[in-house]
Amino acid sequence: MSFSNFASSSLCLITFSLLLHTVFGAGPNFHFCSTPDNFTANGPYESNLNKLTSYLYYQSPRTGFGKGSRGHYPDQIYGLALCRGDVSTSDCETCVVEASSEIRRRCPYNKAAIIWYDNCLLKYSNNGFFGQIDNINKFYMWNVHVVSLPVPFNQKTKELLSQLATEAQATPKLFATGELELGNSTKLYGLVQCTQDLSSDVCKKCLDGIIGELPSCCDGKQGGRVVSGSCNFIYEIYPFVNA
């Protein structure tokens, strides 16, 4: 199953297992070294970063989310880790540990960075960001195959994701999944999630914003994602057999 990926004018073709039933073990989906500001090796900022990432991969697996801050200005750092709402504690831990290591390899001295896997994201910055929608760090992915009737399909996709956004807003995890029968033995599956530093109202605003990007991302495509630093959605058509 082929998907295209878009972020910051980059275009590449990558292959994914089923969007809603992925198995951890592949590399990251995307990352950004989010600032040109660098820290000095073995300095106080790096020390605070090490303490923060250690805390996040200890804290996050227990609830699926962790956030924290270490140090004081000018070396203070803020960070969070979020695991997908339906992954196990062990898969969450594995993903956050891998993300902590991999982002340091890819952005070794950047004061701010973010990395996404299928099962988790990890983000840190020298600027406080808790409670704010991150629309700067964002990427799209889409299935290269197109449905035969894109207009009604687009409407059904938007309706499903909007319904899930309302459901996610009312849950502690800010996470929801659901499905919709399309006929002809196919179903449309959807998933939405926000980082838990957001309030429920801000989560809904974030999800509404990225759902509004469906025409830009995934017009008529059989599957797609819009993924930001604060919220994301996934949808996909699957064949199914009536029991």
Q: How confident is the model over 113-166, as pLDDT tens digits? A: 999 999 999 999 999 999 999 999 999 999 999 999 999 999 999 999 999 999
Q: Look at the block and give the residue holding tokens 């919709």.
A: 180
Shared domain for 120 and 144, answered yes or no, is no
Instruction: Answer yes or no: do 125 and 200 share one domain.
Output: no
Give mean pLDDT, residues 173-192: 93
Assess whether 103 and 63 both reside in one domain. yes
Q: Based on the fold, state whether residues 125 and 174 are members of the same structural domain.
A: no
Q: Which long-range contacts (CB under 8 A, 24 or more apart) does 174-182 make?
A: 174/198, 174/200, 174/203, 175/84, 175/85, 175/86, 176/85, 177/20, 177/85, 177/86, 180/156, 182/153, 182/156, 182/237
Same domain? For 114 and 149 the reply is no
| CB-CB contact of 48 with 71 (8 Å) | yes
Residue 16: band (very low, low, confident or very high) from pLDDT cuts 50, 70, 90: very low
- Domain assignment present for residue 154? The answer is yes
Are 70 and 100 contained in the same domain? Answer: yes
165 and 113 inside one domain: no
Q: 66 with 93, same domain?
A: yes
CB atoms under 10 Å from CB of 216, counted, come to: 10
- pLDDT, position 1: 36
Domain holding 230, by residue range, is 139-236
Q: How far is CA 135 from CA 52, 166, 185, in A?
A: 23, 20, 37
Rg (Cα) of the chain, in Å, rounded?
18
In a domain? residue 10: no
Structural domain includes residue 65 = yes
12 in any annotated domain: no
The pLDDT value recorded for residue 10 is 28
With cut-offs at 50, 70 and 90, classify the pLDDT of residue 240.
low
| Closest to 154 measured CA to CA, from 206, 224, 208, 209 | 224
The reply to whether 71 and 147 lie within a common domain is no
pLDDT confidence of residue 9: 27
Same domain, 93 and 160: no
The closest alpha carbon to 133, from 234, 32, 229, belongs to 229
pLDDT of residue 7: 54
Q: Are residues 143 and 122 in the same domain?
A: no
Please report whether residue 204 resides in a domain.
yes
CATH code (residue 223)? 3.30.430.20
How many CA within 13 A on the CB side of residue 150? 9
Q: Over pLDDT 90: what percentage of the chain?
A: 82
Is there a single domain that holds both residue 120 and residue 160?
Answer: no
Give how many domains the chain has, as a whole number: 2
**Choice between 190 and 34, residue whose per-residue pLDDT is larger:** 190
Predicted confidence at residue 142, as pLDDT, reads 95
Amino acid, res. 149: L
Q: Is the pTM of this model over 0.85?
A: yes
Task: Please give the span between the terminal C-alpha atoms of the chain, in angstroms, as a whole number.
Answer: 25
The answer to whether residue 2 sits within a structural domain is no
Domain boundary among 130, 159, 175: 130
The residue among 107, 130, 153 that closes a domain is 130
Using the Cα atoms of residue 231, residue 236, residue 242 and residue 243 in order, give the sign of their dihedral.
Answer: negative
From 54, 132, 118, select the one nearest 85 (Cα to Cα).
Answer: 118
Give the residue from 130, 148, 180 where a domain finishes. Answer: 130
The answer to whether residue 124 is domain-embedded is yes
Residue 62 lies in a domain: yes
